[in-house]
Amino acid sequence: MYKGIALLAAASGIAMVAAPAAAQESSPFTGPRIEGIVGYDIVRPGSTVDIDNADDVDQSIEDVTYGVGAGYDFDLGGAVVGVEAEYMKSEASTSYDTTAFTGFGVSNVDAGRDLYLGVRAGVLATPSTLVYAKGGYTNASMDVLASDNVTDIETDANLDGWRVGAGVEQAIGENFFIKGEYRYSNYEEGEFEAPSGLESDRFDVDLDRHQVVVGVGARF
């Protein structure tokens, strides 16, 4: 009899340990994920270089941004932490007509590609809703076309900075999700790279980026 009670107690203990593990394994916020992302991108000078008291001067470039992301999350039971990476493209660009300028050079700028590598952490508002914050490293490549109306010179401006953001992710079953997110980036250092591969010395910049995006993805 005592042996039977001991076996029953041992089985109950195993079940109590296994149940939380099974629940965590079935969490919609655990494991690798991939996603498609689309949204709106605004790039403008930072506070140290913008033009004050000139409301009629539009200093920003803005347009749609799109790309892909991947990550891995860990559900710790009420809290979720993870790592993530993104590759994005932006259609934001200036719209100067270089033929209208004859006395001096002028350049056009395309926002180009946008890379991000960082971490995120959040809490479960409901078993299928995650509210999170994020932060990490970002690198942007701006395509610059300079012209003096005789010769066009193309260069890439590679900018390094940091990003923070926040969002809400909604699980759809155990394998799919949708999310909405805002993120702010600031680029503080950069360098120019010519088509020949020649690179300039690194220089200081102050460039702000605001993005509002939505994503649709799957977990595995």
Residue 6 has what pLDDT?
Answer: 42
pLDDT confidence band for 107 (50 / 70 / 90) = low
Q: Which of 10-14, 35-39, 44-48 shows the lowest per-residue confidence on average (mean pLDDT)? A: 10-14
Is a pLDDT exceeding 60 seen at residue 174? yes
Is a pLDDT exceeding 80 seen at residue 210? yes
Is a pLDDT exceeding 60 seen at residue 105? no
pTM for the full predicted model: 0.77
Mean pLDDT (the chain) is 81
CATH of domain 29-219: 2.40.160.20
pLDDT confidence band for 19 (50 / 70 / 90) = very low
Percent of the chain with pLDDT over 70: 72
Percent of the chain with pLDDT over 90: 51
Residue 149 has what pLDDT?
Answer: 62
CA distance readout (Å), 76 to 17, 25, 124, 174: 15, 10, 10, 16
Q: pLDDT by residue (tens digit) across 85-94?
A: 999 999 988 8
User: What does the pLDDT average to over 89-114?
Assistant: 70
| Those residues with Cβ within 8 angstroms of residue 25's Cβ, 6 or more apart along the chain or in another chain | none
User: What does the pLDDT average to over 2-21?
Assistant: 39
Is a pLDDT exceeding 80 seen at residue 97? no
